[in-house]
Amino acid sequence: MTQEATEVVEIPTQLPIVDYLRIGDDPHLAANECAGCQARYFDRRNACARCGKEEFRSVRVADDATLRSFSVVYRAAPGIPVPYVSAIVLTDDGTSVRANVVGLDDPMKAELGMRLRFTTFTCGTDDNGTDCVAFGYAAA
C-alpha cells in the first residue's frame, strides 16, 4: 500500500516587491556591501565593481534621506498611474536609492534637497490574496 504525501503550500500574506526590501516588523532596505571598499549593491555581484574584492556582507540601509534628483512623470506606459514623483534619494549613510516620493498632495511640491523618510505601502494583491509591499520616501 502506498500513501500519497500531501504537500502543504503556505501562501504568504505579503511579499516584498523586490528582494532588497525587507518587510515585517521593521521594514528596511538591505544592500550587499563590499567588505573591501564598502560600495553597496542591491543585486548580487561576482566582484565589487569598484575595487574588485569578492566578499560582501548584508547591511541595513538608513531610513532617512535627502532628495538628490526627481522628475514628475506625466507620461508612462499604459496601466501606470500618473503623475508620480520619480526620485533619486541619497540616504544618510550615503546610499543612492531609486524610488517614488509618496504622500505629496501636489507632485510639483517636490523640492531638491528636501528631507525624506523611508516608508512602505501595499501596491497590489494577487489571485492568492498575497499583498505586494513596495517602498517609497515621504517628506520627513
Q: Shortest distance, CB of residue 4 to another protein, whole angstroms?
A: 24
Positions in the binding site for another protein (CB under 8 A): 15-20, 39-44, 49-50, 67-82, 84, 86-88, 90, 94-100, 108, 112-113, 123-124, 126-128, 130, 132, 134-136
Q: Shortest distance, CB of residue 1 to another protein, whole angstroms?
A: 35
Nearer to another protein, 58 or 128 (CB): 128
Nearer to another protein, 1 or 74 (CB): 74
Nearer to another protein, 1 or 9 (CB): 9
User: Nearest CA to 23 among 119, 139, 126?
Assistant: 119
Give the list of residues 6+ apart from residue 51 with CB closer than 8 angstroms, or none.
34, 36, 37, 39
Q: Shortest distance, CB of residue 101 to another protein, whole angstroms?
A: 9
Q: Shortest distance, CB of residue 3 to another protein, whole angstroms?
A: 29
What does DSSP say about strands 131-139 and 14-16: parallel, antiparallel, or unpaired? parallel
Nearer to another protein, 27 or 86 (CB): 86
Nearer to another protein, 6 or 129 (CB): 129
Q: Shortest distance, CB of residue 120 to another protein, whole angstroms?
A: 12
Render 98-114 in DSSP notation, one character per residue: EEEEE--SSGGG--TT-
What are the phi and psi torsion angles at 108 (to 5°)?
-75, 0
Angstrom CA distances, 27 to 89, 133, 136, stand at 18, 10, 11
Give the list of residues 6+ apart from residue 4 with CB closer than 8 angstroms, or none.
none
